Amino acid sequence: MESCGTAVSCTPAAFLLLHLGLISSMAHQNEFQTGLAGGEVTLNCTGILPDSKLPRDTVISWVYHDTLLWRMEKSNKYWKKPTFITGRADIKMQYKQLRVWNLKLSDAGIYTCEYGPQKVRTSLHILKLTISSDGHFLQNEVPELILMQNSSSPLPDLSITLFDSNNNRVTPELQNKSRQKYVVNLKKLEAMDSGTWVCQVHSDSPLINQNISFAVKVLGFQNPDLERKYATVDSTVIFSWRLNSQIIKWKEGFTGQLNWKQQESASTHELLDFNVTAQGQLHETKKSSNFLFEIPERKPESTIEVKLPKVHFNHSGQYQCQLEYQGRHVQSKIELVVMKVSANPVGPLSRGANMTLTCQVSGPLTPNAYLRWERVNGTEMDSKNSKQHEVKLEVNISAAGLWSCHLIEDSNIKISFHYHVEEAPVWINYVIIGTSVGGSLLALVLGCLCIISGISWQRRRQRAKRMAQARQYLLENKTCQCQHWLKK
Ligand SMILES: *[C@@H]1O[C@H](CO)[C@@H](O)[C@H](O)[C@H]1NC(C)=O
Ligand SMILES: *[C@@H]1O[C@H](CO)[C@@H](O)[C@H](O)[C@H]1NC(C)=O
Ligand SMILES: *[C@@H]1O[C@H](CO)[C@@H](O)[C@H](O)[C@H]1NC(C)=O
Ligand SMILES: *[C@@H]1O[C@H](CO)[C@@H](O)[C@H](O)[C@H]1NC(C)=O
Ligand SMILES: *[C@@H]1O[C@H](CO)[C@@H](O)[C@H](O)[C@H]1NC(C)=O
Ligand SMILES: *[C@@H]1O[C@H](CO)[C@@H](O)[C@H](O)[C@H]1NC(C)=O
Ligand SMILES: *[C@@H]1O[C@H](CO)[C@@H](O)[C@H](O)[C@H]1NC(C)=O
Ligand SMILES: *[C@@H]1O[C@H](CO)[C@@H](O)[C@H](O)[C@H]1NC(C)=O
Ligand SMILES: *[C@@H]1O[C@H](CO)[C@@H](O)[C@H](O)[C@H]1NC(C)=O
């Protein structure tokens, strides 16, 4: 790949030269050369002998159109120094080549080297490529590319082909076109489009084949535009946005902020703002005082991170990280869905009684998601699924044990809440029955109590065993939340 500013020779023109040379020994030669604005070219004085073999009385001059640029007579050389080229040109003495650097569109034209009776005319064609925002973009922006050409001969119709940083062909949208100026819109940029792009410019006559490379930097997130995160109430949640500024060696300062809103229509709360210096240093400032969150002390570089140590049901919603550069923005959102579970009545479940378990998620579910209640090691009868779009699912249960509420999306369990329903000791019921029988049966009741408390004691042992099993289960299921039960 030719880097910006390299001159490219034109073989057919050279071929044409040879041809002309054969037809007549008359010494007019025509050459064609392309240069890039900002780059440099070396124009040949084709056919000239090297300095050491050149007769001492040869007069050599370089002329731009009718303007004398440089002249050498009997070894005296001098520059005419026309202002347009001052400080941007010199002569390579060995072959008297004219070198011009920091080329401008207006340098286009005919450069003639004359020595003795010989005249070598080079038509210099200049191309200039500019990219909007100096090649610095945010994700989702569409760069504009402007290609201009200038020449003293009629301007050719250029064909433009673009290759992105992965060398994939990009079909640009030609915005506006004149022979002098082509305006093209590239595609919507993604963070991974950062790198060196190539603009291939072609024309058949005159033959131009020029690769112009240019740098594109796309500042953005390594996260997707929208992520979903699930958490159970009281668990710890960490949000993290990975910026790509280091990877792409972004050398400009920028700022940003982290906002939260519970719903699309709700008001936005600013949690923190930050800035990143041109040297890549990140400064963060906490903004919200009534929202309990922490900024983790140890985190990867170029990462914006916040930690909610004990998430509330009402902390759900959209967490949006926004970057700002020169008045332009880009954002990446993480949507937090919180799950909670409650029981009515609370407390142990008596035999033959019912209890209502309610599982609720904070946000609207995607169409492919639903809630499911099921009893661990229970039967199919012990399970219930929510209907589409239901964010709350109730079950009336009459069996104690470990109950789980799952949020299932595309057949994958996204999050589960495990709730242990204790079985109430049975003797309470018996005592109530016993007292209703009447005072005369007190002795019998007392006798029964002895027997029943024995049963109850045995039941407690079974219960302790079940609790141990449940504890084991909880340990194996790390996502689990079951404080209600563990406290018992
Ligand atoms: C200029 O001359 C040199 C040496 O003869 C040759 O290698 C080079 O290709 C020529 N450049 C152009 C643009 O014709
Ligand atoms: C094109 O080059 C000519 C000289 O050859 C110059 O007068 C003119 O200003 C140039 N055009 C542009 C757009 O620079
Ligand atoms: C194309 O560019 C020319 C000159 O720059 C301008 O006058 C014209 O309005 C542009 N046309 C469109 C469609 O943008
Ligand atoms: C321009 O680049 C393309 C692909 O990157 C390559 O095939 C071609 O040879 C290059 N042309 C020139 C003149 O460097
Ligand atoms: C960057 O943030 C720090 C700390 O909040 C602040 O002192 C500094 O002025 C900020 N710099 C810019 C350029 O905003
Ligand atoms: C969320 O609810 C808790 C109580 O459940 C309350 O203390 C807190 O202030 C609420 N937070 C917000 C941001 O509304
Ligand atoms: C318990 O729930 C079942 C099924 O939902 C119902 O058939 C039964 O009548 C309920 N019993 C009580 C005491 O509420
Ligand atoms: C659960 O039971 C309560 C009271 O017995 C009743 O109002 C409710 O409709 C029942 N819910 C379901 C889902 O069966
Ligand atoms: C479910 O059954 C398995 C295998 O029988 C057992 O290891 C596990 O402890 C049971 N879990 C609960 C919560 O009863």
Same structural domain for residues 286 and 384? no
What pLDDT sits at residue 474?
Answer: 53
Q: What is the CA radius of gyration of the chain?
A: 40
Mean pLDDT, to the nearest integer, of 160-171?
93
Mean pLDDT, to the nearest integer, of 387-414?
93
Q: Is 143 helix (H, G, I), strand (E, B) or coil?
A: coil
Same structural domain for residues 191 and 239? no
Final residue belonging to a domain, choices 219, 244, 260: 219
Q: Which atom of ligand 8 is nearest to the CA of 394?
A: 13
What pLDDT sits at residue 445?
Answer: 38
Q: Which atom of ligand 7 is nearest to the CA of 353?
A: 13
2 found inside a domain: no
Classify the C-alpha dihedral 408-412-415-417 as positive or negative: positive
Q: Which atom of ligand 1 is nearest to the CA of 9?
A: 13
What pLDDT sits at residue 77?
Answer: 74
Same structural domain for residues 141 and 243? no
Q: Which ligand is nearest to the CA of 402?
A: 9
- pLDDT classification of 433: cutoffs 50, 70, 90: very low
Same structural domain for residues 310 and 349? no
290 found inside a domain: yes
Same structural domain for residues 69 and 114? yes
Same structural domain for residues 349 and 482? yes
What pLDDT sits at residue 305?
Answer: 94
340 found inside a domain: no
What is the CA(314)–ligand 6 centre distance, in A?
Answer: 6
187 found inside a domain: yes
Final residue belonging to a domain, choices 73, 96, 127: 127
* Angstrom distance (rounded) from CA 395 to CA 63: 95
- pLDDT classification of 76: cutoffs 50, 70, 90: confident
Same structural domain for residues 391 and 470? yes
Return the CATH number at 310.
2.60.40
Q: Measure Cα distances from 75 to 262, 287, 293, 418 in Å.
A: 84, 75, 81, 97
Residues 6+ apart with CB under 8 A from 151: 108, 109, 123, 124, 125, 126
Strands of 97-100's sheet in order across = 41-43, 97-100, 89-92
8 Å CB contact between 44 and 125: no
What pLDDT sits at residue 449?
Answer: 43
Q: What are phi and psi of 143, to 5 degrees?
A: -70, 155
Ligand 7 pocket member 344 (CB < 6 A): no
Residue 16 is inside which H or E element, if any? helix 11-23
What pLDDT sits at residue 173?
Answer: 80
73 found inside a domain: yes
Ligand 9 pocket member 470 (CB < 6 A): yes
336 found inside a domain: no
Higher pLDDT, 479 or 151: 151
Residue 439 reports pLDDT greater than 70 = no
Same structural domain for residues 113 and 19? yes
8 Å CB contact between 394 and 357: yes
8 Å CB contact between 219 and 254: yes
Residues 6+ apart with CB under 8 A from 481: 232, 233, 234, 235, 417, 418
How do residues 262-292 score in pLDDT, each as one tens digit?
A: 988 889 999 999 999 999 999 999 997 777 8
Q: Is 366 helix (H, G, I), strand (E, B) or coil?
A: coil
Mean pLDDT of the chain: 83
- pLDDT classification of 4: cutoffs 50, 70, 90: very low
Nearest CA to ligand 7 atom 14: 354
Return the CATH number at 367.
2.60.40.10
Q: Label residues 334-367 b or e (16+ Cβ within 10 Å = b).
A: bbbbbbbbebeeeebbbeeeebebebbbbbebee
Higher pLDDT, 290 or 146: 146
How do residues 370-398 score in pLDDT, each as one tens digit?
A: 999 999 988 888 899 999 889 999 999 99
Nearest CA to ligand 2 atom 1: 106
Higher pLDDT, 419 or 15: 419
What pLDDT sits at residue 57?
Answer: 86
Q: What are phi and psi of 93, to 5 degrees?
A: -60, -35
Short-list 111, 127, 132, CA closest to 69? 111
Nearest CA to ligand 8 atom 11: 396
What pLDDT sits at residue 442?
Answer: 40
Angle between helices 427-437 and 442-476 (to 10 degrees): 160
Final residue belonging to a domain, choices 64, 93, 127: 127
Residue 236 reports pLDDT greater than 80 = yes
How do residues 290-344 score in pLDDT, each as one tens digit?
A: 778 889 888 888 899 999 999 999 999 999 999 999 999 999 999 999 999 999 9
Q: Label residues 181-218 b or e (16+ Cβ within 10 Å = b).
A: ebbbebeebebbbbeebbbebebeebebebbbebbbbb
Same structural domain for residues 419 and 297? no
Residue 399 reports pLDDT greater than 80 = yes
Same structural domain for residues 201 and 232? no
Same structural domain for residues 470 and 416? yes
365 found inside a domain: yes
Ligand 5 pocket member 285 (CB < 6 A): yes
Classify the C-alpha dihedral 102-104-106-109 as positive or negative: positive
How do residues 442-484 score in pLDDT, each as one tens digit?
A: 434 333 343 444 444 455 566 666 666 655 655 554 433 333 3
Same structural domain for residues 158 and 115? no
Range of the domain at 473: 345-486
Residue 158 reports pLDDT greater than 90 = yes
8 Å CB contact between 136 and 252: yes
Q: Which two tokens stand for residue 43?
A: 């124009």
8 Å CB contact between 270 and 252: no
What pLDDT sits at residue 463?
Answer: 61
322 found inside a domain: no
Count of CA atoms in the C-beta half-sphere (13 A) of 412: 3
Is residue 471 classed exposed, middle or buried when 0-12, 13-18 and 19+ CB atoms within 10 A define those classes? Answer: middle
Higher pLDDT, 50 or 426: 50
8 Å CB contact between 335 and 229: yes
What pLDDT sits at residue 253?
Answer: 95
- pLDDT classification of 84: cutoffs 50, 70, 90: confident
Q: Amino acid identity, residue 128?
A: K
Domain count, the chain: 4
8 Å CB contact between 99 and 42: yes
Mean pLDDT, to the nearest integer, of 64-68?
92
What is the CA(176)–ligand 3 centre distance, in A?
Answer: 6
